[in-house]
Amino acid sequence: MSTTNFDMPLSPLAGSRLNNLKKVIEGRHVDDKYKSKLIKSEMLSVFTEPFSTYEEAVYGKQVQKFHLDQDPVFILGHWRSGTTHLHNLMCKDPQFGYVTTYQGVFPNMLFSSQWLFKSFMNLAMPKKRATDNVKLGVNLPQEEEFGLGNTTPHSFYNFWFFPQDTMEYYQKYLMFEGLSDQEYEDWKSSYKKFVNRAMLNTKGKRFISKNPPHTSRVKQLLDIYPNAKFVYIYRNPYTVFESTSKFMWATIQGLMLQDFTKEQLESNILEIYKGMYDKYESEKTLIPDGNLIEIKFEDLEKDNIGWLKHIYQSLSLPGLDFAMPHFEAYAAQQKGYKKNAYNYQEETVRKVKEHWGFALDKWGYDVL
């Protein structure tokens, strides 16, 4: 499989409010060759600050007071496990509100000046994701973590910018170890407002989330939304490792503000996968009966429509009949999509057997 490295003139941090950006980079080392990229991002953050300030003044109370009338749905799963595909499918149901790609970059300018900054994004953004040809667009569904990180410094995705500190971010924002009570309350408050903004923006009735870091946040999400519903999707660990490694290595080279090696990245992937798996397994018992379904990506891939029906029935989600024509139309469009093919490298097989053998056993994948 070939991948194309992202080469971004600006960091996604440019979509952060200035005060938040300062907190994110405070105490972090930036290598000299990346300082110009950070300076450009800081300049854009300064430029957009009046727009963000105006939006908060005009829409802040509306966002704060917004209440989810229906229980949200969270799609969980490690990176490259099929979460994007399932999210894109389910977002075709008109009842769902979701985070858009635009909100994922400029969450602080979602209502008053979206028309302006969306135009710039359209010009700058590629039509497809470089690593796997997934369609991109400013209004299409997107995961939350980048956008959340532009509203609060408490985001795991700060590792993209400061990869040498990945395991610190992992402990704090995936394992939730080492956070003060105030930091945790700030994280919850920021996330609730982020979701409220998404709902007001897309005008949905029920929020649906796809965000791989949430896989190890079941307890924290239930703390905010006690009756939330969850879909957990898993995939062949050999494919997940190889795909995650290639995807993250291609992506991080365009985002990092400090040098980092592929060997370091893969070591982190191996450890983080196990930590997320263990935390999910220990916390899924907290989910109310009838609010969790676990599915295998390879099964979903063979029968999109059949598994969507199963998800709706298992979670007692309404609106399946109304949504079905939208699902069928989208599934038909995807028939020509060519996913990446994987011929597992010998080193991949060795690492997965050594570090992720528990997942092979749990889900019944053949050990190579």
Residues pairing with 74 in the sheet: 209, 230
Q: How far apart are CA 345 and CA 354, in angstroms?
A: 14
Residues 286-302 have pLDDT tens digits of 999 999 999 999 999 99
Quick count: other Cβ atoms within 10 Å of Cβ 231? 24
Residues pairing with 234 in the sheet: 296
Q: By the 8 A CB rule, do 86 and 300 touch? A: yes
Q: How far apart are CA 169 and CA 12, in angstroms?
A: 17
Residues 119-168 have pLDDT tens digits of 878 776 666 665 666 677 889 999 999 999 999 999 999 999 999 999 99
Of 36-40, 166-170, 326-330, 336-340, minimum mean pLDDT range: 336-340
User: Can you tell me whether residue 234 is helix, strand or coil?
Assistant: strand
CA dist 357 → 212, 232, 237, 268 (Å):
21, 19, 9, 17
Residues pairing with 208 in the sheet: 73
Give the pLDDT score at 119.
82
The model's pTM is 0.94
Superfamily for domain range 12-334: P-loop containing nucleotide triphosphate hydrolases (3.40.50.300)
